[in-house]
Structure 1
């Protein structure tokens, strides 16, 4: 890229030197004036080409920086999620091992003192706990697997963002030649491009976005925006495709600067007209406070979008004041990717709540076992010594099970019934 810029500068200096030489000869060689004029015209075209090249270079560097930032953020979040899942799985494995060891010891110690009926009773008490642990482990595995797969897909999609944008633009150029002059086909093609961007972003039709939903105004009139993209928290943003190809195509094929300037002015005016139509529809009022206070107007042909902004740099701010934000395919794809990422974080938080709920049920099950053992101790005088041993293993000594599950409750696990204070006091005293 740097070599290309140096080459352009060298060519520019050579052109200026040649121009100076021709100026010196102007007084002596009148027929060379026409050549000088042509050279000046070429120099002007060359300078315009250099500026356009610099702008495209800056745009590419900005996209590369944005891609690198998104990849770094994704890697950081993925590592944090993996660490959380690892801690939960370790806790689940330790709890399961402790409970299984406890059950085995209880059966072994009671083998000589308890009857078959007592063994069945203890087994029935522990069976729900085993089922809860199995469900907990399965859910943790699912969350870890889903998080890993989603992170890998997002990273790959970020890497392919620039390629996808270029592909969409190339396809748009080919289609533009086929549908120019037919407003209905242009509109259908624009909606198709935006829908493909929505699908590629990872959003799901009917869940995170809707295609041409029927919205009712206060007077009962029906309106059908192209797309409504939903956000977490009950909010939405409206996306509308607006195609301006006729004037843009004339500017590309213009044979003179005058024709090109006239076509560019018509292209900018066409974009303004679409903006005015979109503003007058007042889509944001149809959803009340459930929608953002602006509409995304997508020009699905990236060169047409860039050309309009280059011809009229203030157009972007002019549209924003009318609560209309103009975008091209690349900008819209980045926006949709961010929305999809927000939805993934929302779903992961919901999964974390489910895990906390399961941990609460696990705590409740431990409470039931403790209460059952305490009741059995009172009713089975002959087995008092065995129960004392079981209770001491459950709530006695440093790192006892009662102290661990109480720590889970303090960390935010949802429980329906706390452990008895007497049991907690004994367990926490031994823990200290």
Structure 2
């Protein structure tokens, strides 16, 4: 009895083991997948952390470089040129970079002069005003941050006043009486306007137009459109001149053809007179040779007058 119970228990344990084995295998595979996912996550997070560290380092290097006035100025000039190219303009054709102008007070050199149709020009000066702005970004103190932003707005106003004093419009007679002050970022102007809301109006009063990449692209697009319209106008004018020249030459050709027709008419008249003279005077005498028995091997063929005449050329209207 005891042996039978023991055998029955073993049999049931085996049956239960068979039932549980697939679940154990599934749990094992699930555990392996979790381990693989965790290893992948750690690897991905490690790579992301490296990218973030590298990005932070590069951002720090950029911010450090932009603290240099020379680097900021060059960055502003490059951004200005890129904006002009994005607007469809070509260097040395549609705009010139840093042309030099000699004045009584010294040498002036704006960052860019944009050529307009009819020989007009727009003077653009790029200013990367970033010193106080970068200080505002670095400070965690809000009052200190607002102080630096007010200083940033004051720096832009100072550049605006200095640029107005240069009066580029008097050095470029074909330029309108304003100069574009280009700021290479929308946020630079936005941060300044938050502190000094009269910057744009005061700029207009000083003949200075504050522009960012967005507004300058719109302005240069208008200039490029004007160039295209000017080119179309020049082509239309050239087509008109060519059409007039072609018509004048066609008149001369028609006159020449009329002279040729008249000459052909006179030739036909002379030919018909010659045929008439041969028929009335030459051939009767020649036929008498045949009557006298002095016959040639061939007869003289008849000559027919030309009845048609050249069509007269129509008069030129």
TM-score under structure 2 normalisation?
A: 0.64
Cα distance, 1:254 vs structure 2: 3.5
* CA–CA distance in structure 2, aligned partners of residues 242 and 272 of structure 1: 11
Cα distance, 1:186 vs structure 2: 0.7
Name the residue aligned to 2:213.
329
Q: 2:129 aligns with which of 238, 244, 249?
A: 244
Name the residue aligned to 1:387.
310
Name the residue aligned to 2:248.
364
8 Å Cα contact 2:251/2:316 also seen in 1? no
Name the residue aligned to 1:193.
79
8 Å Cα contact 1:228/1:236 also seen in 2? yes
* Greater per-residue helix proportion: 1
Unaligned runs of 5+ in 1: 1-172, 396-421, 425-432
Q: Secondary structure at the match of 1:292?
A: coil
Distance 1:330 1:175, change over 3 A: farther
* CA–CA distance in structure 2, aligned partners of residues 269 and 182 of structure 1: 19
Name the residue aligned to 2:97.
211
Count of residues paired in the alignment: 220
Q: 1:350 aligns with which of 211, 234, 253?
A: 234
Q: 1:229 aligns with which of 90, 114, 118?
A: 114
CA deviation vs aligned residue, 1:107-133 (integer Å, no higher than 9, x gap): xxxxxxxxxxxxxxxxxxxxxxxxxxx
Cα distance, 1:253 vs structure 2: 3.5
8 Å Cα contact 1:228/1:237 also seen in 2? yes
* CA–CA distance in structure 1, aligned partners of residues 235 and 216 of structure 2: 29
* CA–CA distance in structure 1, aligned partners of residues 241 and 193 of structure 2: 52
* CA–CA distance in structure 1, aligned partners of residues 99 and 80 of structure 2: 15
CA deviation vs aligned residue, 1:34-87 (integer Å, no higher than 9, x gap): xxxxxxxxxxxxxxxxxxxxxxxxxxxxxxxxxxxxxxxxxxxxxxxxxxxxxx
8 Å Cα contact 2:124/2:180 also seen in 1? yes
* CA–CA distance in structure 2, aligned partners of residues 175 and 241 of structure 1: 23
Name the residue aligned to 2:201.
317
Cα distance, 1:178 vs structure 2: 4.1
Name the residue aligned to 2:70.
184
Name the residue aligned to 2:183.
299
CA deviation vs aligned residue, 1:133-165 (integer Å, no higher than 9, x gap): xxxxxxxxxxxxxxxxxxxxxxxxxxxxxxxxx
Structure exhibiting the larger radius of gyration computed from Cα positions: 2
Cα distance, 1:352 vs structure 2: 1.5
TM-score under structure 1 normalisation?
A: 0.48
The answer to whether 1:373 aligns with 2:296 is no
Q: Secondary structure at the match of 2:118?
A: coil
Cα distance, 1:232 vs structure 2: 1.1
Cα distance, 1:220 vs structure 2: 6.8
Distance 1:383 1:310, change over 3 A: farther
* CA–CA distance in structure 1, aligned partners of residues 136 and 211 of structure 2: 20
C-alpha RMSD of matched pairs (Å): 2.1
* CA–CA distance in structure 2, aligned partners of residues 301 and 175 of structure 1: 19
* CA–CA distance in structure 2, aligned partners of residues 386 and 220 of structure 1: 84
Name the residue aligned to 1:255.
140
* CA–CA distance in structure 1, aligned partners of residues 213 and 162 of structure 2: 21
* CA–CA distance in structure 2, aligned partners of residues 333 and 270 of structure 1: 24
Cα distance, 1:327 vs structure 2: 0.7
8 Å Cα contact 2:126/2:182 also seen in 1? yes
8 Å Cα contact 2:264/2:310 also seen in 1? no
Q: Following superposition, which runs of at least 4 residues in structure 1 exceed 6 angstroms of deviation?
A: none
Q: Secondary structure at the match of 1:233?
A: helix
* CA–CA distance in structure 2, aligned partners of residues 369 and 181 of structure 1: 75
Cα distance, 1:423 vs structure 2: 4.1
